[in-house]
Amino acid sequence: MTAIIVVGAQWGDEGKGKIVDLLAENADMVVRYGGGANAGHTLKVNGQKIVTHLLPSGVLHPRATCVLASGMVIDLAILLAEVRELEARGLSVRERMVLSPRAHVTLPFQAAIDRAANAGPQSIGTTGRGIGPTYSDKAARIGARVGDLLDPTRCERVLEQLIEPWRTRARAIGATLPTAEEAMAYITPIADELRPMLGDASIAVDRALKRNDRVVFEGAQGTLLDLDHGTYPFVTSSNTVAGGACTGVGVGPTQIHRVVGITKAYCTRVGHGPFPTELVGSAGDSLREAGEEYGATTGRPRRCGWLDLPALRYVARVNGLTDLVVTKLDILTGYKLIPVCVGYTVHGEFTEEFPIDSLDEASPVYEDFAGWTEDLTGARTMADLPETAQDYLRMIEARVGVPIAMVSVGADRAQTVACHDVFAGRS
């Protein structure tokens, strides 16, 4: 049996969707463990572009059971729309979905509060999908869980308990709130359609592992957006790290075999917050255009910059990475020299550690690596890559201390260099 956690090794948008989609080809179960509709997975299949926000990226493989686990916050209307869209394309989803009754629900008013708060001076540039308000309601123990809202006898009481405490705050920030009856009228038809998908996510995963099935736990966002280990307060409101899979699903850490970190060959970030290797002006613009770096959920232009090795080593440590996947290597074609951050100076001292608690006072130190001019999009083996591109990858492996399992050189499934089988590990 193999249980693999896939995590973003930067600030999200590393191309996890394509990699999970590839791994799901050989998987029996794909599991989303945290976050909500703030995620946007762009999948390209047979030339067609599909974006999912809540369903796991592995959903496109009809054999795989899709689990939405307890650590998620779920906008049920968006979920239903995604299920219907895939069904309209001929892919059955509901028969193989497990929706945890313990996941929390995001209602439209929580998204409205998120957007209203986002417009203020304290804004960190959220996706406006209601993630922060939903997780804070969960922590305050007034949240509405999927099981509560799908149970007609509990629904209205839980909605009242959720909405009423928001009245004063909502007025102050100019957001309007529904009454519990209005919210109930909104949720009832959605609940009726989703009810058959309810199932215990922890039990489903446990049974799959006992059957020796291959299970892929799919992280959303990236490690540097983790609530505890990211660049707080410029983070999302969930635990995006590998440990989040264990708490979010209800699976013990001893059941996990491999933890795969996905990193771009350079760096991007959307929203506000520190980004030490960011390129501003035309240098950033040309990387953005080459990589088509616009948010899948909000369409916002992504900030772009060079690879940050101290950050990647930090991410390898807090997740316990066993494998790395490097995406978008093809985008670096044409740079004569590729600068990479190899350390920082903080108050005049050089360090190879990522100075997560003093990023404002830290300056990146760069080393230049030789680039290449060849188009990489046709490469399928390491030997197909120019020597300098191979050196760039070997340099990342050596300095992060984690073997590279795959390299992505384009959006299509086929545009991938496989170095070793992630399910088996490097022999």
Query: Can 41 be counted among the known catalytic residues?
Result: yes
The reply to whether 51 sits near ligand IMP by the rule CB under 6 A is no
Residue 104 phi/psi, 5° resolution? -95, 155
| Catalytic member of 13, 21, 148, 226 | 13
* Contacts with 47 (C-beta within 8 Å, 6 or more apart), sequence order: none
Q: Which is nearer to ligand IMP, 37 or 338 (CB)?
A: 37
Write out the binding residues for ligand IMP, residues 213-232 only, by CB under 6 A: 220-221, 225
DSSP 359-382: GGGEEEEEEEEE---S--TT--SG
Torsion sign over Cα 147, 153, 157, 159: positive
Instruction: List all residues 6 or more positions away from 413 whose beta carbon is below 8 Å from its beta carbon.
Output: 18, 21, 22, 44, 45
| Torsion from C-alpha of 114, 302, 14, 215, nearest 10 degrees | 20
Nearer to ligand IMP, 36 or 355 (CB): 36
Q: Determine the length of the chain.
A: 427
d(CA 412, CA 377): 10
CA angle 283, 285, 286 (to 5 degrees): 70
C-beta of residue 132 within 8 angstroms of C-beta of residue 126: yes
In the complex with ligand IMP, the residue whose CB is nearer, 57 or 236, is 236
Beta-carbon-side half-sphere exposure of residue 269 (alpha carbons within 13 Å): 26
Nearer to ligand IMP, 76 or 180 (CB): 76
Spatial distance between the Cα atoms of 60 and 414, rounded to a whole number of angstroms:
15
12 binds ligand IMP (CB under 6 A): yes
> Looking up tokens 């004063």, which residue turns up?
168
Nearer to ligand IMP, 131 or 316 (CB): 131
Counting contacts by CB under 6 A, is residue 244 touching ligand IMP?
no
Q: Does 327 help bind ligand IMP (rule: CB under 6 A)? A: no
Token pair 């959006």 is found at: 411
Closest CA to 94 of 103, 83, 86: 83
Q: Tell me whether residue 271 or residue 343 sits nearer to ligand IMP (CB atom).
A: 271
125 or 425: CB nearest ligand IMP? 125
220 and 241 Cβ atoms separated by less than 8 Å: no
Print the binding letters for residues 21-40 with ligand IMP: x by CB under 6 A, - otherwise. Answer: -----------------xxx
Backbone angles phi and psi of 171, in degrees to 5 = -60, -45
Question: Are the CB atoms for 332 and 266 separated by under 8 Å?
Answer: yes
Q: Which of 127, 231, 327, 408 binds ligand IMP (CB under 6 A)?
A: 127
Q: Applying CB under 6 A, does 301 fall inside the site for ligand IMP?
A: no
**Which three-class secondary structure state does DSSP give residue 31?**
strand
Minimal distance, residue 194 CB to ligand IMP, in Å: 23
Task: Pick the binder of ligand IMP from 4, 13, 21, 263 (CB under 6 A).
Answer: 13
Q: Which of 132, 250, 276, 364 binds ligand IMP (CB under 6 A)?
A: 132
20: contact with ligand IMP by CB under 6 A: no
Helix (H, G, I), strand (E, B) or coil at 214: strand
Q: Does 131 bind ligand IMP (CB under 6 A)?
A: yes
The span of 11-19, 365-373, 374-382, 394-402 binding ligand IMP (CB under 6 A) equals 11-19
Binder of ligand IMP out of 67, 270, 315, 407 (CB under 6 A):
270
Asked whether position 271 contacts ligand IMP by CB under 6 A, the answer is yes
Q: Shortest gap between Cβ of 145 and ligand IMP (angstroms)?
A: 20
85 neighbors 186 (Cβ within 8 angstroms): no
Does 134 bind ligand IMP (CB under 6 A)? Our answer is no
* 125 near ligand IMP, judged by CB under 6 A: yes
Q: Which of 21, 28, 41, 53 is catalytic?
A: 41
Tell me the residue nearest to ligand IMP as measured from the CB: 271
Tokens linked to 91: 């892919």
Please say if 13 is a catalytic residue: yes
Tell me the C-alpha distance between 248 and 253, whole Å: 12
Q: How far is the CB of 202 from ligand IMP (least distance, A)?
A: 24
Kindly state the smallest distance separating residue 90's Cβ from ligand IMP, in Å.
Answer: 27
Report, in Å, the least distance between residue 118 CB and ligand IMP. Answer: 8
By CB under 6 A, how many residues form the interface with ligand IMP?
Answer: 21
Q: DSSP characters for 50-76?
A: EEESSS-GGGGSTTSEEEE-TTBEE-H
| Whole-number CA gyration radius for the chain | 21
Q: Which is nearer to ligand IMP, 13 or 323 (CB)?
A: 13
Give 132 or 343: the residue with its C-beta nearer to ligand IMP.
132
Please list the active-site residues.
13, 41
Binding residues (CB under 6 A) for ligand IMP: these are: 11-13, 38-40, 124-127, 129, 131-132, 220-221, 225, 234, 236-237, 270-271
